[in-house]
Amino acid sequence: MSSTHTPEQWRSSSSRLLGLYCILFVAWSSMLLGVMYWRISDYLSDLSESGLQQRTHLFMTFEGAALDDALRDSLRYDLHQVYAYGLFTAAGQPLAGPLVAVPSELPLDGRSHPVDGWVLATGARDEGGSALGVTTHDGRVLVFVRQNGKLTAVNSIILDALLWGVSLTVIPGLAGWHILRRRPLKRIQQIEAATNRIVAGDLGQRLPVSDRRDEIDRLSSIVNAMLERIEQLMTEVKGVCDSIAHDLRTPLTRLRAHLYRTRVALDEHDPHADQIDKALLETDLLMARFAALLRVSELESHQRRSAFVDIDVADLLQEVHQFYLPLAEEKQQVLALEIAPSLAPVSGDRELLFEALANLLSNALRFTPEHGRILLRAVDDGGATRIDVIDNGPGIAPQDRALVYQRFFRGGAEAGHGEGFGLGLSIVAAIVGLHGFRLRTGASPDGGAWLSIRCVADALH
C-alpha cells in the first residue's frame, strides 16, 4: 500500500516557480558578470597595447647615450615589471636591456604583434605576449615586449571578484528559495492533515486560516464555509433518521406486545397462529434494524474516544477466534489464527474492536461454503498492526467494494443469502472511523473476500 512520490519540495508549484526563478537569476547574473569580465579584460588589453605604443614613440625621441640612459631609468619605474626591452645591433646581437634575443619573426614595423615567448637575461622565460620592434636613428634595433602573465594576474583578480559576486547572489537566492518554499509547503501540510481528519469522519474539523488572508487563506475559507453547510445538512439528515428510528421503537414495542399476547391466546392449531408468528418475526427484525441504526449513529458521534486504552492485539484476536471457532466447526469450516510476534499495542476501545472483528468474522462464516477456510491474522505493516479477515467464499465484486460499508447496502452475494439488512459492515466502518484506522477491501488469493483494518491513528492527530 506504499507508493513512490516526487520529493515534497518539488511537488508544489510555488517551489518549482521559485526554483526556476533562482536558476534564471543565477544564469542572468553569470551572463552579466561574464560580459563585464570580457569587457574589462579587453579594455585592459587595449590599454596595455596603447601603453606599449606610447612607450615606443617616447623612446624614439632619444638618440645614442641618451636613449640608453632613458631605457635604464624606465626599468626603475616599472614597479610591476609589465614591460621589458632589449637593444640590439642590426645583426641581432644584444647591447642592453633584459631581453637577450629578438623574438623570432618579429617585423620591425613599429606595430604590436603577438609572439610566443622570449628569454630574459635572468634566465626567466615568458610564454607569450605582445612585442614591438623598431629601428633607431643610429641603426640599432629596439624591442619592447609586454608580458601577458602580469595582465593575466589582473584578470584573475577581476575574475575572482566576479565569482564572489556570483556566489553572493546565488547563496541568498538559494536561502530565499528555501525559506519561501517552506512556508507554503508547511501550510499545505497543515491543510492536508485537517483534510485527513475530515475524511476520517470528523466533519467538525476546519482547514486552518492564517492572519495573512492570502489566496490560500481565501481558498481555505471557501472550503470551510462549504464544510459548515455539509455538516449542517448531514446533521439534519442524521437527526431525522435517528429520530425516526428512536420514535418508532415505542410503537413497534407496543405492536409486538399486542401480537405476542394475541399469539399466546390462540390455540396451537389455530390457522391464524402462523401468520402472527411471521408478524412477530418481521417485527423483531424491524426493531433490530432500528437498533443497529442507532448503534451506527452512536459510533459516528465519536463520544467514546476519551475511553481509549492500549490493547494487546494478540489477546483480542485469540478471544474472537475462540468465540467463533465452535460456529466454524458446526459448519465444517476451518477458522485459522495467525499472529505475528512482537506486535505493537493498539490504542482503542476493546469492546468496539471486538464488535468490529465479530462482524467481519460473522460475514466470513456466513458466506464461506462448507469445508471452506477463513483466516484471522495480525501482521506488522510498515510499523503498524494490520488485522486481516480472509476467506475463500464468493468474494466481493470490485464495483461493490466501495459501497459495502454504506447503510442498507447488500451486494449480490449477500442479497442471495436473504439474511441481514446491510448494517453489519456499516457498524464496522463506524468503529474503524471512530479509531481513525483504515479499512481496506480486496480479493483473497482464492477469490474470496479480504478485509483489512490497519491500526494506525495518525489520521486523527
Name the residue with higher pLDDT: 173 or 381: 381
Of 65-69, 180-184, 345-349, the range with the lowest mean pLDDT is 180-184
pLDDT of residue 377: 93
Q: Of 250, 283, 300, which residue constitutes the final position of a domain?
A: 300
Number of domains making up the chain: 2
Read off the pLDDT of residues 331-369 as tens digits, 9 standing for 90 and up.
Answer: 899 999 999 988 888 888 888 888 889 889 988 998 899
Name the residue with higher pLDDT: 18 or 325: 325
* pLDDT reading at 114 higher than 90: no
Cell of 28: 542572468
pLDDT of residue 335: 93
* Contacts for 329 with CB less than 8 Å, ≥ 6 apart: 335
* pLDDT reading at 5 higher than 50: no
Name the residue with higher pLDDT: 325 or 73: 325
Cα 296 to chain centroid distance, Å, stands at 36
Q: Of 270, 300, 330, which residue constitutes the final position of a domain?
A: 300
Q: Any idea what the CATH number is for the domain that residue 247 is in?
A: 1.10.287
pLDDT of residue 404: 78
Residues 359 and 221 in one domain: no
* pLDDT reading at 15 higher than 70: no
User: Rounded CA gap, 436 and 444, in Å?
Assistant: 25
User: 190: pLDDT confidence band, cut at 50, 70 and 90?
Assistant: confident
pLDDT, mean of residues 158-187? 72
Statement: the pTM of the whole predicted model exceeds 0.85: no
Read off the pLDDT of residues 212-252 as tens digits, 9 standing for 90 and up.
Answer: 777 788 888 898 888 888 878 777 766 666 666 666 767 87
Residues 309 and 398 in one domain: yes
pLDDT, mean of residues 162-179? 72
pLDDT of residue 418: 47
pLDDT of residue 206: 85
Residues 434 and 405 in one domain: yes
Residue 237 lies in a domain: yes
Residue 157 lies in a domain: no
User: Rounded CA gap, 122 and 456, in Å?
Assistant: 83
Read off the pLDDT of residues 125-138 as tens digits, 9 standing for 90 and up.
Answer: 666 678 888 888 88
User: Rounded CA gap, 93 and 141, in Å?
Assistant: 9
Residues 351 and 449 in one domain: yes
Residues 283 and 331 in one domain: no
User: 81: pLDDT confidence band, cut at 50, 70 and 90?
Assistant: low
User: Rounded CA gap, 289 and 297, in Å?
Assistant: 13
3-state secondary structure 201-258: CCCCCCCCCCCCCCHHHHHHHHHHHHHHHHHHHHHHHHHHHHHHHHHHHHHHHHHHHH
* pLDDT reading at 116 higher than 70: yes
Average confidence score pLDDT of the chain: 78
Which residue pairs, CB below 8 angstroms and at least 24 apart, start in 187-194? 187/216, 188/12, 188/216, 191/216, 191/220
* 352 in Cβ contact with 305 (< 8 Å): no
Q: Of 271, 300, 329, which residue constitutes the final position of a domain?
A: 300
Give backbone dihedrals phi and psi of 457, rounded to 5 degrees, phi first.
-105, 25
Residue 394 lies in a domain: yes
Sheet containing strand 384-391, edge to edge, reads: 334-339, 373-381, 384-391, 449-455, 438-443
pLDDT of residue 378: 93
Residue 72 lies in a domain: no
Residues 360 and 282 in one domain: no
Residues 253 and 328 in one domain: no
pLDDT of residue 80: 59
Domain that residue 398 falls in: 305-460
pLDDT of residue 317: 93
Residues 330 and 408 in one domain: yes
pLDDT of residue 373: 93
Residues 294 and 391 in one domain: no
Residue 126 lies in a domain: no
Residue 104 lies in a domain: no
The percentage of the chain sitting over the pLDDT mark of 70, rounded to a whole number, equals 77
Give backbone dihedrals phi and psi of 44, rounded to 5 degrees, phi first.
-65, -40
Cα 407 to chain centroid distance, Å, stands at 36
pLDDT of residue 204: 77
Read off the pLDDT of residues 377-425 as tens digits, 9 standing for 90 and up.
Answer: 999 988 889 999 999 988 888 888 777 777 666 665 554 444 555 667 8
Residues 323 and 430 in one domain: yes
Residues 224 and 262 in one domain: yes
* pLDDT reading at 327 higher than 80: yes
Residues 248 and 354 in one domain: no
pLDDT of residue 339: 92
pLDDT of residue 231: 78
- CA triplet 177, 179, 184: central angle to 5 degrees? 95
Residue 155 lies in a domain: no
H or E stretch at 129: strand 129-135
pLDDT, mean of residues 288-300? 64
* pLDDT reading at 313 higher than 70: yes
User: 302: pLDDT confidence band, cut at 50, 70 and 90?
Assistant: low
Residue 71 lies in a domain: no
Name the residue with higher pLDDT: 284 or 96: 96
Q: Any idea what the CATH number is for the domain that residue 366 is in?
A: 3.30.565.10
